[in-house]
Chains A and B, each alone.
Chain A
Amino acid sequence: MAQGNTPPGYLIEAINRTDVGMIVINCRSEIVFINDWIKAHCIVEGNIDSKPITEVFPELPSRLNRAMEKALNLRRAAILSNKLNPAPFPFYRDKQSTKERTLISQVVKVKPINVDGQFCLIEIIDISESVNRETALHQLASEANLKADQIEAQEKRIRGIFESVKDAIIIVDAGGLIQMFNHTANELLNSATGTLSNINLHQFLKEKNQPLSEANGGANQMAAMLPLWAKYADSIELEVTPHGKDSSFSAELSVNTVELSEQRHFVVVLRDITERKQYEQQLETMAKFDELTSLPNRTLLMDRIQSAIGRARRFDNNVAIIFLDLDRFKIINDTLGHDTGDKLLQLVATRLSEGIRELDTVARLGGDEFVILLENLEHKEHAAHVAEKIVSVFESAFDIDGHQLFVTGSLGIATYPENGETAYDLIKCADTAMYAVKDSSRNNYMFFSEKMNENAKKRLELEAELRVALKEQQFSIVLQPQLSPDNKILHGAEVLVRWYHPTKGFISPVDFIPIAEDSGFIEQIFDTVLTQACQFLAEYKQILPPHFRMGVNISPRQFSSETFTQRFMTVLERYQLETRYFELELTEGMLMKQTDKTIALLRSLVEKGFVISIDDFGTGYSSLAYLTRFPLHTLKIDRSFIVDLPDDEEAALVCKSIIGLAKNLGLILIAEGVETQQQNDFLAAENCDVIQGYYFAKPMPVDEFVNWFDTLNGEED
C-alpha cells in the first residue's frame, strides 16, 4: 500500500474475502492495490505492486485501456460486458494446474475514484456460472426450437394428409364426443365449419335404420360400442344422417384406439360407400337376374331351389319344378327377327309372373326356357293345376308391334322329393319331361317319369355313338329305284342312309336323324352320304340311263347353313360330276321360313343345274302359293296318302287332286311307298309319272342295286 493511513484490519480482511476481484490503479496507471481474489486467480509471476497495469497485463483489450484512461482523466465509469469482452484479464480458476485451469468469464467494471487524488477501481466479477448456465439454456432453447420446428413441420405434413384425405377422420373421446375432425368430416356430416366439436358422434349414426341416438340412450351405447368396434371389427357398415337432413347414406367405419393426453380416444375413419353399394347391388342384380326379362337367372334359381328343398325337408312338404320351353320359338326368331323374339320373351315373362303366387319363382334359364319353382306344396298334384294355368296363359295372342302372335309352351314337371334331392337333378328331370311333351303333343305338360329318363339317356348315348360312327365310317348308302308305273323306265333313285352299329346292328334313321340334326352331326353324315353317292355315280354313270337322277334328302339345318352350296359343289368337283344328276329333296317346312332368302337360294341352285323336289308333299302347311313362287321340278306325294289306296275314297281323292295339281303346274310327280299292285294300278291310271316303293324294289346297297339294274335291263332287252 502506497498510502500512509493504514485502513483498519477488518476492512482489509473484508475486501480480501469478497468474491469480486479488485484492482486499484493511480493516475499513472500503476497498480496500487489488488485484493486476494486477484492473487488467487492471476497467473502473472512476481510482484506486480506499483507496476503500470499495462505492463503487468500487456494484452488487455483496447476497450479496457480506454475505459481506464477515461476513468482516470474524465472520471467516467464503464462496464465491459462478458459477451462483448469475454475475459479481458488472464485470470484462471485452478491456476495451479496448467491442464485443469479455466479462463474466468468476466464482467469488468471500471469506476473512477476521486479521493486523495485520482484513482480507478477495476472490479472483476466472475460470471462463469452464469455464462455456463446461459450457454446450456441457449443450447436447450436451440434444441427445443429445432424440435419445435421439426414438430411443426411434422404437424403441418400430418395436417395436410389429415385434411386432404377423402375419408372423414374424426377423433372422439371415450364417450363419443367429437374432439377433432378434418374437412371431409365437415362436408360429409354437413356441418358449418368447426361446429362438430363436442357433438356426440352417435347423433349422426344409424344401425339397421335404428338411430343410435334413440336406441336406449345413444351416448351410452356409443361409449359401449366404440371399444368393441376398435377391438373386434375391421369395418362397420352404418347409415349416416348428415346434420339437418332426413336422408342418410351408407358409410363404412373403422375405429382405432389412440391415447391422447393419457386418455383413451378413438380415431373414427368414415367413408361414404354409397357408390360402392350401388355398384355392388348392380353387380348382384347382373349376377342374379336376367337382363332381358328381369326374372331371376339360373344362378339365383339354383339358390332358391336349394333353399326351397331345405325348407321342404324341414316342414315335410313338396317342391315342384316346372320347366317351360316355348314351342317353335326358333321359327319366330328366324322369321320375324330377334327383336320380336325378345319382346315375346318379355311378354311371356310378364304373363308367367302374374300367373303364380308371390311365394313362387319364375326364372329364365336362357333362350326360350323358363323354370317355375313352386314351394310349400301339400300335394304334388297342385303342380298340375299351376301347369294347366301356365298352358292357359298362352291361349290369348301376344301383341307385338301390332302383330298378333300365338305361341304355346311345353311343360315338364319334376317334384321333390320324388325326382331328386338337388336343384340340378330336379331341373334335369323337369327338362326331360318337357322334351317328352315336345316329342308327343307340345302345348301340354307332363310329370317326369323314370322311363323318360331312360329315353333321354338313350338319346345321349346315341349322340356319343354318332360321333364314333362318323369316325369309323359306320354309315353307308342304299338306293331305292324310282320307275315308271309300267316298271320299264328307270327314272332315278332316292339315296338313303343306313347305320350298321357294330354291336347294336341296324339303327333306324327315324331314331338317329333327329339327334344328328340337333347335335349338328347331320352335315358330316350328309357329306358321307354324298361322297358315297358320287363314288357310285362316277363308277356307273356310263351304264345308267342318261336322265338318271339321285334324290338326296336335305335337312333343315343343312339348308340354312351358309356353306351348304359350296360344300356340295366341292364334293361334286372332286368326282367331276355334273349337278344335273342330283335332285334335292326339301320339305315344305323348310320352304316356309325366310321366304325371300329361300327363293334366292333355290334359284341359284337351279341355275347351277340342280333339280328341286318337295318331299312328303301334303303333310305340312301346304300352301298352293309357294308352289308357283319356287322354281320346283318334282312333287313327292307322302306315303300316308298312298297306303290307303285305292279303297279309301278320301285318300284316292287327295291323290287325284295332287296329281292334277302337279300336272297343271307342269311338275313331275313321284309317289312314295307304293307296295301293292292295286296302288300301282291306281296311280298308273291317274297318270302318276314315277313310282317308288317296295312293289317294284326295296332300298338296296350299291352292289345289289347294280345287279338289280342289270336284271331290269335284261328284262327290257
Chain B
Amino acid sequence: MQLSELQIDYIKELFNVGLGEAIVELNDMINEEILMSVPSFDLFEKNAIFDKLQIESGRNITAVVLPIKGEMECNGILLFPAQHSLNLVRKVLKETSGADTLTALEVESLTEISSIILDAIITSISDMMHVSISTAMPTAYSGTFQDLVDKYYAGDTVMSVGMHFEIKDSQVRGDILFVQDIRVIEEFLEKTNQMLSELGL
C-alpha cells in the first residue's frame, strides 16, 4: 500500500494538531515543557513490523496498550525501548535516582502519560472519520516485542505513527501503533483523500 507524500504530510499534520491538546494537558500536570511531534507515518503489513520498526522480536520493551472500542475496534499501542520509557518517566517525575527498572507507581504514570497521547491521536482520527470511538482502561505491558505483537495485534495491517518527545534537553523516541483490518485503513485513507480534495489539493 503506497502513500503519497501529500497524504503522509496531511496525516502527520493532523496528528500534530491533535497532540496540541495532549501537550497542554501534560504541561499542566508536570509543570515542565514537553515538546511532541510526529516525524513519521507509515502503513505496512503486520509481518513486516520487525523490519519496519527495526526492533528485534526478542527485545524487551515497555508499552502502554489502550483498547479502542466502537466503530474502529483495535488496540492503540505506544511503545518505548525499555531505557527510553525509564528516562521519560524519570524526567517527567523529576526523579534522578532509583532502581534501573520502573516501579509500579512509575508504570502507572507512564500509563497515564501514554494514554493522554494515545487519546489525542485517537480523537484526531475519530474526528476526521466521523466515527464514534470509546476507550477502555489503558494497561502497561513489559516483555518482548514478539509477545506484545502476539497478544495485542489482532488485525493484518499496521498503522505506525512515529513519536518524538523532548523534555529537559533529553529526547525520547516512541512508536504509536494501531493494528487493524485493511478495510478500516482503506476507509481512513479514503477520508484522507476526501479531506484533501475538499481543500482543493
Contact = CB atoms under 8 A, between A and B. Distances in A.
Nearest to B126: A74
A141 B106 CA distance: 15
Contacts of B28: 62-63
B97 A141 contact: yes
Given A83-B106, A131-B105, A138-B98, A76 B29 contact: no
B118 to A, nearest CB: 10
Given A63-B25, A63-B28, A134-B103, A84 B109 contact: yes
Contacts of B136: 77, 111
Interface in B83-98: 92-93, 97-98
Contacts of A114: 134
B119 interface: yes
A78 B93 contact: no
A42 B113 CA distance: 28
Contacts of B30: 84
Interface residues of B, number: 30
B111 interface: yes
B108 A107 contact: yes
B112 A76 contact: no
A683 B100 CA distance: 132
B104 interface: yes
B190 to A, nearest CB: 23
Interface in A91-144: 107, 109, 111-112, 114, 127, 130-131, 134, 137-138, 141-142
Interface in B110-149: 111-113, 115-116, 119, 123, 132-138
* Interface of B, helix, strand, loop or mixed by DSSP: helix
A194 to B, nearest CB: 30
* Interface of A, helix, strand, loop or mixed by DSSP: mixed
A66 interface: yes
Interface residues of A, number: 30
A63 B108 contact: no
Contact of B123 (A74, A84, A112): A74
Interface in A150-203: none
Nearest to A109: B137
Q: Shortest 10 CB-CB distances between A and B: which pairs?
A: A75-B134, A81-B108, A81-B112, A81-B109, A83-B109, A77-B135, A76-B135, A77-B137, A84-B29, A79-B112
Given A78-B119, A83-B93, 15 more contacts: A66-B25, A70-B119, A75-B134, A76-B135, A79-B115, A82-B109, A83-B108, A84-B109, A111-B137, A127-B105, A131-B105, A134-B105, A141-B98, A141-B99, A142-B97
Interface of A: 62-63, 66, 70, 74-85, 107, 109, 111-112, 114, 127, 130-131, 134, 137-138, 141-142, 145
10 contacts: A76-B119, A76-B123, A77-B135, A79-B115, A81-B109, A81-B112, A82-B105, A83-B105, A84-B29, A84-B109
